[in-house]
Amino acid sequence: MSFVNKPVQKKDAMQLVTGQPVFTGDLVSKNALVVKILHSPHANAMIEDINTSIAMKVPGIEAIFTYKDVPQNRFTMAGQTYPEPSPHDRLILDQHVRFHGDAVVEGQRKYMGTLWNTYAFYVLYANIDKFDPTKYNLEDCKLTVMDKWLLSKLYSMVKAVDDNLANYKIPEAAKALQEFTDEMSNWYVRRGRERYWVQGETDDKTAAYMTLYTALTVTAKTAAPMIPFMAEAIYRNLVCNVDKTAPESVHLCDFPVIREDLIDKELEKNMDEVVDIVVLGRAARNGSNLKNRQPLNTMYVNCDKKVEGYFIDIISVLFSRSGSGV
């Protein structure tokens, strides 16, 4: 069993972003309500109600319907009445979204592009190894600390998205998805690429594949309300392509169940501190004009508690081996 590995053309990529067909006529204008105050760089006040007309001359309105399928733009609810924002709400500007075309493009690049690249990474190596996730069970895998960390962050993200959506905090839900995707790609995958390069089938490689597969499929289900077309493409290739008994669409799946048994806040906190050390290490290296690929003989870190051996190994490998890119 193999996954589809067709390069995504520019036209196809835009369809994943915007969906087809586009809204036409007054279908949206009859039912769409904006549930957050939106701010463009050209005007502070934006819309409270577009229930009767979308032909309003409001700065940024074009961006709302041009980029209607990215996390930053999923602020509409159909067929419901939403009260005008109170004066108190207007004052809480840090909770309002700066919305304009450039911000949407940046969101596509930082979030959707990162998610798609991580998905493409999995598909590439899973096809090379002819990996079939239906033959394995995550609970039976010998998970590393990095695997356990990613799974903990995954279900912490699901919990945050669920809570925020339940309270109509759409931007906060999108932010949780974006932060997790960034950590999955730029920390988990980058730190563990060698695990997928090992020749033959090993327990560690299987654990790496199953962890990343779980993270991608659960993320697709969680993100489906905000990126319905991209989530559908990922789900159908990763799940329907190997499991013929699975629901035929991500939108027919239940929202992911939160695995409290896999959430380890202490592990997440420790890994956050390791990331902080790496960031500070990069800054110190740059301040000393040391090239990124130049290994360090010694590195001193002032901590207020003992660092576990595995985390020391992560830091040591990043800063001592040539070609680490840190």
The pLDDT of residue 80: 32
Structure tokens at 257: 């169940």
Predicted pLDDT of residue 197: 93
pLDDT along the chain (326 residues), means of 10: 57 46 41 42 42 40 52 36 48 48 70 93 95 95 95 98 93 92 94 91 95 98 93 96 94 96 94 83 78 72 73 66 41
Q: What is the rounded CA–CA span in Å between residue 164 and residue 38? A: 18
Q: Where are the domains of the chain?
A: 10-88, 102-262, 271-320
Helix axes 203-223, 228-235, angle to 10 degrees: 150
3-state SS assignment for residue 38: strand
Please report the pLDDT score of residue 183 as a whole number.
Answer: 95
Enter the DSSP assignment of 42.
T
Is the CB of residue 109 less than 8 Å from the CB of residue 78? no
Using only C-alpha atoms, the chain has a radius of gyration, in whole angstroms, of: 22
SS3 174: helix
102-262 under CATH 1.10.3470.10, yes or no: no
CA dist 300 and 280 (Å) reads 11
- The per-residue pLDDT for 317 is 60
Contacts of residue 96, defined as CB under 8 A and 6 or more positions apart, other chains included, come to 36, 37, 38, 39
Q: How many CA atoms lie within 13 A of 257 on its CB side?
A: 4
